[in-house]
Amino acid sequence: MMFWIPVRCTLGALILALSLCSLTLFAQDEDPVYSGPQVGESVNSFDVQPLFPHGESATQPLQWSGENRLDTVVIVHKITRPGFGLLRTITRYVETLNEAARLRVVFLSADVQATQRWAQGARNALLDSAEYWVSVDGVEGPGSLGLNRHVELTVLIVEKSQVVANFALIQPSDSVDAPKVVEAIAKALGRTPPDVREIETWRGPAMARNARAPARPAAAGDEVDLRRLVGPVIQLDASDEAVEAAGLRVEAEAEKNQAFRDRLGQACQDIMKSGSIEKYGTPRAQQFLREWAEKYGGR
C-alpha cells in the first residue's frame, strides 16, 4: 500500500501536466494574423493611380507625410459592407483632427481601370475627406509591403514613413475594430481618444453620404430608377464582390433620397411576402433584400 501512494500521485500529476500542456498548445493554435510592415518597420513608397482620375490616370508614388502629420493608410483587399462601415467611422475621426492627420485609402485590384469605373458608381458611399487610390500591383499589392491576401483590410498608422500601429482584419467589425484603430491614431498624436459614445455618433445612415453633400429631400418627381440600381444586386451570376459593391450604391442612394428609400423598402417587403426570394440573385443578394425590407419597409 505504501508503494502505490506515490505512484498514484505521480500519475495524477502527470495527467494534470499533460492537460495543461494540451490547453497551452490549443491556445497557441490561434496564431495572430499579420499583414504589411509591423510596428517599428519602415514603409516603402509604392505606385498608385487615383481612384477618381481626372483625364489621364498617371501612375505616381504614394509618398509619406513629413514632420507633424500622421498618415492612416487603409488597404482594401476586398470590398465588403462591414469593411466600408469601419472605413467610414475611421474617416469621421480623422476629419476631426484637421491638419494633424490624413486618411489614405488604397484599393487592391486585378484591373485598375475596372476599379476606377466601379468607383464612379460607388462615389456617394465614400466620404470625400479621404484620399482614394488604387494600387498598380494587382490583388497581392506591392511586394515590398508583404500583405496578407487572406485579410479584408490592412490598416497602417504611419509616422514619418515608420509604422506605429498595424491592424490586419480578416472580418472587419465597426463596433469592435473602430475603437481600437481610433485609439491607436489618438495615441500616436499624443491625444486623448474619444470614448465609445462619441464614436457611436459617427455611425448611422448619414455615414453613407458624402460629408459635403447635403441630403436630398424627397420631392414629387424625384425618381431614381429602382430597377437600374437594384438590378446588379440581384443578378444571378454576380460575384459576391460585385453584389457588395452594388449593394453599397443602393444604400448610398437610399440614405439620401427618401422617395427611393420608401420604394425600395416596399419592393423588398413585397418580395418577402411573395415567398419567392430564392429567385432573386445569389444568397448574398437575398440577404440584402431581407435587410432592406426590415430597415426601409417600416418607414
Provide the percentage of residues in the chain whose pLDDT is more than 70: 80
What is the mean predicted confidence (pLDDT) over 246-267? 84
Q: What is the pLDDT of residues 114-125, one digit of tens each?
A: 888 888 877 777
Mean pLDDT of 238-256: 83
Q: Is the pLDDT of residue 98 over 70?
A: yes
User: Could you report how far apart the first and last alpha carbons of the chain are, in Å?
Assistant: 80
- Residue 235 pLDDT > 50, yes or no? yes
Q: If you average pLDDT over residues 47-67, what whole number do you get?
A: 81
Provide mean pLDDT across the span 154-177: 94
Lowest-pLDDT range of 15-19, 101-105, 111-115, 182-186: 15-19
CB atoms within 10 A of CB 82: 17
Mean of all residue pLDDT scores within the chain: 80
Task: Give phi and psi for 71, each to the nearest 5.
Answer: -105, 130
Q: How far apart are CA 168 and CA 50, in angstroms?
A: 24
Q: Most confidently modeled of 1-10, 26-35, 75-84, 216-225? A: 75-84
pTM above 0.85, yes or no: no
Mean pLDDT, to the nearest integer, of 162-169? 96
Q: What pLDDT score was predicted for residue 3?
A: 40
Dihedral angle at the C-alpha atoms of 168, 172, 174, 180, nearest 10 degrees? -20
The per-residue pLDDT for range 14-25, each reduced to its tens digit, is: 444 444 444 444
Q: Which amino acid makes up residue 138?
A: G
What pLDDT is recorded for position 30?
57
**All structural domains of the chain:** 46-208 (3.40.30.10), 226-296 (no CATH)
What integer pLDDT is reported at residue 86 of this predicted model?
92
Residue 209 contacts by C-beta under 8 Å, 6 or more apart in sequence?
124, 127, 215, 252, 255, 256
**Confidence grade of residue 166 (pLDDT, cut at 50, 70, 90):** very high
Instruction: State the Cα–Cα distance between residues 51 and 145, nearest whole angstrom.
Output: 20
Residue 6 has pLDDT above 50, yes or no: no
